[in-house]
Chains A and B, each alone.
Chain A
Amino acid sequence: MNNEKIIEAKGIIKTYDDSGVPVQAVRGIDYTLTKGEFTAIIGPSGSGKTTFLNVITGLDTPTEGEVWLSGRLLSKMSGNELSDFRRDHIGFIFQAYNLFPVLTVEENVEYIMLLQGVPKEERHNRVMSMLEKVGLADYAQRLPSRLSGGQQQRVAVARAMVSKPSLVIADEPTANLDSKTSGALLDMMRQLNEDTGMTFLFSTHDEIVMRRAKKLVVLTDGKLDGNSPPEEYE
């Protein structure tokens, strides 16, 4: 692991308006994520994990503070620049309903490359190779509705990684999976991290994820409450 900064967040505050009442979901976080990390942000429900991930990936704007992503200040980017930046540099895995229901597995996985304008043949080859890696090559022409929850998440992993992003963000990726499937999925991602050096940042309160993370970041009530290897957390 080198010390190249993928994310640098300074003094992040995010306040929501909840029916006229301001709610501070993130309360002044300074955070740095370096290349090759396999880190989990942990904390109870409502601790601000998802909000924090949304802010540091440009899906949401911070009320205060600034976010640097691969050396670029997010607040200086236009809507289209942000979209293009996420498309080219970040892979997303969400907790559920990750896939486009009307697209086949192959079409879902190639979607980002389609946005990037990758030629058809290259798209196909990369999709099939990635589906091989996640063990779903035989399911390429199926619709997501005909896959199990675990298989759908594996497709989501394939989609997040097929365009070779520098960062993969996974928000509660195992929330809807059983422990066996969760473990297998995490092992697969960890393997990809070790093989390719791709950076992974999770948000979770699942112990299976925590055990496999190389580093844990604890978030409590919208504030960072510690930063440690998983064995220390235990």
Chain B
Amino acid sequence: MFGRLIKFAWRSVWKNKRRTVITGLAVGLGLAALMFTDALMIGMTRHMIDQTTNAWMGDAQIHRDGFRETGRITLTINEPDSITQMLRTDSTVDAFTFRIISPASLQSTMEMKPVTMIGIDPEKEPTVSMLETAVDSGSYFSGDSTDLIIGYKLAEDLDTDLGDLIVITAAEADSGLSSNLFFVTGICHFGSDDLDRYTAFIDINTAESMLDLEGRFHEIAIRFPDSELGMDESLPFWSRFSICGNRAQGWATLATQVTAMLNMTKLSIVITAVILFGLVVFGIVNSLFMSVYERMYEFGVMRAVGTRPGTVSVMVILEAFWLGVISMILGSTMGLVIIWITWKTGIDFGNIEVSGVIFDSAIHPILKWSGIWIYPFFTLLLTTAAGIYPGIHAGRLNAAEAMRKSL
């Protein structure tokens, strides 16, 4: 009987082809819009994470407790040798590098600017950050202790260019002041104001001797095989390396603005889904009620000849199910085509900056496997559920009244 009802419902759905196609397209468009929005948000999220982690931060960092809050250069990482040894053997770590960080002032022949001076390991730094590739004029570190790389905005502010002399003055760990001469050997372009205007990069050995730190560092930047691990609060890495007064944190904790933006993105997807699914439900309920009222006499005859109320309800719910299947097929197809086209072409946001992240290249929607089935599945589920109310209504029709009203 149930099999026959399924067949009966399928044919009833196609009795009014135009309405079925219009309803299917309306619901399908909602589904396609949702699939596309989700894929675009994943693409944007991926871009934001990549921008945040690849440019400079890495997927995780280790600092001495209190260093990030105070910036005091005496707060160097405790037990750096054993931490290094542990990092080398940790399976979640792809690469890592040490950094020395200190406030400093840069003086050119024309200007003086306060900056963050960062001493980096020229060999290891490219395994974690994009500093090497961000140098778009001049060259990366050559091994000379006077090499200096600054951002293009800082170069503009200091009215300086490649080869110019710069004096860097910074406080030593023992409270004295240290000044060194450098030559601008590279000008970099990260696309971030922090790095392009307020940061200067020098060799880590030079920074070590300048600040009198002798084998001590302020930061270890770490690269994981997958940046999403940096969001995983349950990762054992955090507790393993938050020892000896040090603290290990992922990018999601370090870049709170980006994390807030990502959470907002997730919330906006949920809101979009609720609105679109709400419209889907109303669309289906409306379409089914139209169908029920149009076929009032038919339902009256069904009831008259002995069809139980529940069977009539099931019939209408099955019609809703088929409408859902049709909508799901139309919507998924439209959604996949739109995603494929935009994935091929990319979407250019024209260098807008959101939470310190610049969308300077085209965003490509990313379709996850879950996006292929979750939204279509929920469309089918909701569409079928939307048939319950009209179904109950049809089941409760008084046979005599239904036939009388429709004549």
Pick from B4, B309, B400: contact of A79, CB below 8 A.
B309
Q: How far is the CA of A100 from the CA of B299 in the complex (A)?
A: 9
* Interface segment, one of A34-42, A109-117, A187-195, A211-219: A109-117
Residues of B within 8 A of A79 (CB): 308-309
Do A100 and B297 contact each other (CB < 8 Å), given the known contacts A59-B399, A115-B307? no
Q: Is the CB of A60 within 8 A of B400?
A: yes
User: With A60-B398, A60-B401, A103-B11 known to touch, is A111 a contact of B297 (CB < 8 Å)?
Assistant: no
The stretch that binds B, out of A65-73, A80-88, A133-141, A226-234, is A80-88
Residue of A nearest to B12 (CB): A102
Considering the complex, give the chain B residue whose CB is closest to the CB of A14: B400
Residues in A neighbouring B260, C-beta threshold 8 A: none
* Contacts known (A79-B309, A117-B1); A100 close to B298, Cβ less than 8 A: yes
| B308 and A84 contact, CB distance less than 8 A | yes
Q: B8, A103: Cβ atoms under 8 Å?
A: yes
B-side contacts of A50, CB under 8 Å:
404
User: Across the interface, which residues of B come within 8 angstroms of A100, CB to CB?
Assistant: 8, 298, 301-302
- Given A84-B306, A84-B308, A115-B307, A98 contacting B301 (CB threshold 8 A): yes
Residues A80 and B306 in contact in the complex (CB < 8 Å), given A59-B399, A97-B298, A114-B1: no
In the bound complex, CA of A112 to CA of B306 (Å): 7
Count of chain A residues near B, Cβ 8 A: 30
Does chain A have a CB within 8 A of B15? yes
On chain B, the residues within 8 Å of A98 by CB distance are 301
**B110 interface contact, C-beta 8 A:** no
Which A residues lie within 8 Å of B401 (CB)? 60
Q: Are A83 and B306 in contact (CB under 8 A)?
A: yes
Interface positions, chain A 48-107, Cβ under 8 Å from B, are 50-51, 54, 57, 59-60, 79-80, 83-88, 90, 92, 94, 97-98, 100-103, 107
A97 touches B297 (CB 8 A): yes
Instruction: List which B60-96 residues lie within 8 A (CB) of chain A.
Output: none
Within the complex, which residue of B8, B15, B298, B308 is in contact with A83, where a contact is CB–CB below 8 Å? B308
> Which residues on A sit within 8 Å (CB–CB) of B400?
51, 54, 59-60
How close is A129's CB to chain B, nearest CB, in angstroms? 20
Q: Judging by beta carbons under 8 Å apart, are B301 and A83 in contact? A: no
Known interface pairs A60-B398, A86-B305, A114-B1; A94-B403 also in contact (CB < 8 Å): yes
Residue numbers of A with Cβ under 8 A of B are: 50-51, 54, 57, 59-60, 79-80, 83-88, 90, 92, 94, 97-98, 100-103, 107, 111-112, 114-115, 117, 159
Q: List 22 A-B contacts (CB under 8 A).
A: A59-B398, A59-B399, A60-B400, A60-B401, A79-B309, A83-B307, A83-B309, A84-B308, A85-B306, A86-B305, A88-B306, A90-B306, A92-B301, A98-B301, A100-B301, A100-B302, A101-B15, A101-B298, A102-B8, A107-B4, A114-B1, A115-B1
Give me the 4 closest cross-chain CB pairs, A-B, nearest first: A87-B306, A102-B11, A60-B400, A54-B400
